[in-house]
């Protein structure tokens, strides 16, 4: 089987981590035996006409058994380029965005398989509609975490590598503060109440993310919504406590793990738990086994099975 994967999340110097989860899934699919070509293009509305042309050229140059596009607008580009059968994975912003959301829902009704990275994207949330699952043409196919990049590292070692104060009180906000849906303001309030410095990772290379996770005493995920919630999986793989709003897979991922929280935001309650972790210095939780449920290789094998089924029926 030969598959073309198209992503509009090409990294650059300002966002080296962009699209790493797509590349991790591609690597996992290749290890699962899928013959695959990846086309990555820059984000931005001005890039989409060129994306249609690029995908059309690739489709004319070689035979593919199916095309897999990531993100709703990229899926539209693939559809306009004539991709069939077509799988589109929706990641969250493309479903919840006030302008892109309606376009994504229209596309989901037309493609051969509409995949979401979590079941939540098929549901309404905060007054915003989710994808409407078509019988036999919908699936939940998250990308998963590259667990080998997220080992537990002694906190002192991680801080020394990053040039952080050895005895500092650090919490981690694993996103760019400029993304409004991530709610950096809420995480900053928790850090203030807990007497900690808030670290952010908006422009950190994927290979160095584990250092930032291990350098902090807890990870704060204060998002209004998450399509999946990869940062929480990565933190658990390191054994680091996670405090998260109940978005994406957080309730399933964090439920029952002592020291973690998946609950509506409450600054005082979150700060109380964060302060306990800060006081402990290098706190760890028993989360590696739970994180393994959502590893990139395990989830890529599921995607490979879906590819095979779709190619047979297409």
CATH number at residue 276: 3.40.50.2000
The answer on 178 and 95 residing in a single domain is no
The answer on 302 and 195 residing in a single domain is no
The answer on 194 and 119 residing in a single domain is no
Q: How far apart are CA 244 and CA 248, in angstroms?
A: 10
pLDDT confidence band for 259 (50 / 70 / 90) = very high
The answer on 46 and 7 residing in a single domain is yes
The answer on 262 and 173 residing in a single domain is yes
The answer on 264 and 159 residing in a single domain is yes
The answer on 278 and 151 residing in a single domain is yes
Q: Does the pLDDT value for residue 44 go beyond 90?
A: no
Residue pair 152/284 in contact (Cβ under 8 Å)? The answer is yes
State whether the Cα torsion 111-134-227-119 is positive or negative: negative
Q: Note the pLDDT tens digit of each residue in 23-43.
A: 999 999 999 999 999 999 988
Q: Does the pLDDT value for residue 314 go beyond 80?
A: no
Could you tell me which residue, 125 or 139, shows the higher pLDDT? Answer: 139
Q: Report angle CA 301, 293, 235 to the nearest 5 degrees.
A: 120
The answer on 159 and 115 residing in a single domain is no
Find the radius of gyration of the CA atoms of the chain.
20
| Cα–Cα nearest to 219, from 284, 295, 288, 289 | 284
Q: Does the pLDDT value for residue 144 go beyond 80?
A: yes
Position 15 scores a pLDDT of 85
Q: How far apart are CA 20 and CA 159, in angstroms?
A: 24
Q: What is the domain range of residue 210?
A: 147-292
Position 220 scores a pLDDT of 98
As a whole number, mean pLDDT of residues 124-142 equals 87
Q: Note the pLDDT tens digit of each residue in 54-102.
A: 999 999 999 999 999 999 999 999 999 999 999 999 998 899 888 899 9
Q: Note the pLDDT tens digit of each residue in 271-301.
A: 999 999 999 989 999 999 999 999 999 999 9
**Entry pTM:** 0.89
Residue pair 89/122 in contact (Cβ under 8 Å)? The answer is no
The answer on 214 and 134 residing in a single domain is no
The answer on 186 and 90 residing in a single domain is no
Q: Note the pLDDT tens digit of each residue in 219-237.
A: 999 999 888 999 999 999 9
The answer on 123 and 28 residing in a single domain is yes
Tally of domains within the chain: 2
The answer on 97 and 214 residing in a single domain is no
State whether the Cα torsion 57-64-103-251 is positive or negative: negative
């Amino acid at each position: 089987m030969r598959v073309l994967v198209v992503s509009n999340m090409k990294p650059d110097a300002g966002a080296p981590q962009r699209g790493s989860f797509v590349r991790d899934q591609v690597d996992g699919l290749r290890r699962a035996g899928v013959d695959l070509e990846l086309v990555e293009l820059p984000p931005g509305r001005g890039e989409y006409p060129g994306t249609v042309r690029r995908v059309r050229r690739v489709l004319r140059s070689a035979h593919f058994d199916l095309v897999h596009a990531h993100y709703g607008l990229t899926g539209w580009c693939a559809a306009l380029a004539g991709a069939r059968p077509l799988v589109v994975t929706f990641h969250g912003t493309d479903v919840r965005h006030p302008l892109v959301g309606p376009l994504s829902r229209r596309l989901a009704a037309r493609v051969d398989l509409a995949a979401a990275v979590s079941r939540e994207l098929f549901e309404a949330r905060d007054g915003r509609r989710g994808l409407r699952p078509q019988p036999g043409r919908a699936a939940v196919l998250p990308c998963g975490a590259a667990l080998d990049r997220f080992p537990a590292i002694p906190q002192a070692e991680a801080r020394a590598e990053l040039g952080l104060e050895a005895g500092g009180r650090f919490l981690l906000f694993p996103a760019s503060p400029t993304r409004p849906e991530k709610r950096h303001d809420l995480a900053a309030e928790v850090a203030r109440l807990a007497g900690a410095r808030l670290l952010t990772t908006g422009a950190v290379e994927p290979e160095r993310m584990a250092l930032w996770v291990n350098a902090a005493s807890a990870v704060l995920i204060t998002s209004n919504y998450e399509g999946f919630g990869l940062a929480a999986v990565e933190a658990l793989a390191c054994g680091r406590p996670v405090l998260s709003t109940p978005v994406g897979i957080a309730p399933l991922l964090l439920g029952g793990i002592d020291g973690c929280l998946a609950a509506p935001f409450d600054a005082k309650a979150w700060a109380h738990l964060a302060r306990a972790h800060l006081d402990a210095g290098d706190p760890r939780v028993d989360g590696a086994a739970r994180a393994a449920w959502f590893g990139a290789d395990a989830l890529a094998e599921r995607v490979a099975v879906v590819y095979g089924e779709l190619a047979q029926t297409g």
